[in-house]
């Protein structure tokens, strides 16, 4: 198994060096797996019928949703934990506290150490393309496998403030201008390659 990434040379239109050509990475497009296929595969691994697995999964989903809306951090067995959170502005005065300070609602997923280990050990295959989509070379990862940590969710405390100031840099050692458009999300933007 490997994570597939495309690095395509293209002319940058924005950023520090517009007009310069760089290889910009983006995830290769994956075909979504159907729910039916997931249950079929899980049934083959467990010996439990697809219908029973689906009923159990649906029931677990209802319980997870109910507990999350009550403010709990809910375990997702084999995956990690999930909770709801918000991004909101911080204010000094009690009189200024109001729901209008909330800018976004969030679903916060914290992967288990086992999931992080799986990601760390999964190779990355990069296919390098020219501007026209012709394959120039293929590269398999030799990186350290370092996993990005989200400092604002490190303690997974549902009572913690997710980020009182969304404009603040949560890690002062990181320069937010190093990569203004994170290419790992599939948007293909940014000026770093």
Print pLDDT tens along the chain (193 aa): 789 999 999 998 887 878 899 999 999 987 889 999 999 999 999 999 999 999 999 999 999 999 999 999 999 999 999 999 999 999 999 999 999 999 999 999 999 999 999 999 999 999 999 999 999 999 998 788 888 876 544 433 333 344 333 333 333 333 333 333 333 333 333 333 3
> Does 43 fall in a domain?
yes
> Does 65 fall in a domain?
yes
Return the ∠ at Cα 77 (arms to 56 and 153), rounded to 5°.
130
> Does 67 fall in a domain?
yes
In angstroms, what CA-CA distances link 66 with 16, 45, 59, 73, 84?
46, 29, 11, 11, 11
Domain that holds residue 42: 33-72
Q: pTM of the prediction?
A: 0.61
In angstroms, the CA 33 to CA 159 distance is 35
> Does 44 fall in a domain?
yes
> Does 57 fall in a domain?
yes
Return the ∠ at Cα 56 (arms to 108 and 114), rounded to 5°.
45
In angstroms, the CA 34 to CA 121 distance is 25
> Does 81 fall in a domain?
no
How many Å is the maximal CA-CA distance in the chain?
Answer: 61
């Amino acid at each position: 198994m490997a994570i597939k990434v495309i690095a395509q040379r293209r002319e940058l239109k924005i950023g520090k060096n517009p007009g310069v050509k760089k290889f910009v990475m983006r995830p290769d497009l994956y075909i979504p797996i159907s729910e039916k296929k997931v249950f079929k595969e899980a049934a083959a691994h467990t010996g439990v019928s697809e219908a029973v697995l689906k009923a159990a999964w649906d029931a677990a989903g209802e319980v997870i949703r109910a507990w999350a809306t009550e403010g709990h951090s809910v375990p997702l067995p084999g995956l990690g934990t999930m909770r709801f959170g918000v991004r909101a502005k911080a204010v000094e005065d009690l009189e200024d506290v109001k729901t209008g300070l909330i800018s976004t609602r969030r679903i916060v997923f914290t992967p288990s150490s086992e999931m992080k280990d799986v990601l760390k050990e999964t190779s990355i295959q990069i296919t390098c393309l020219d501007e026209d989509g012709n394959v120039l070379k293929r590269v398999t990862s030799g990186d350290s496998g370092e996993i990005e940590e989200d400092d604002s969710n490190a303690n997974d405390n549902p009572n913690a403030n997710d980020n009182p100031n969304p404009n603040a840099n949560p890690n002062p050692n990181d320069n937010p201008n190093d990569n203004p458009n994170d290419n790992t999300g599939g948007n293909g933007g940014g000026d770093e390659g």
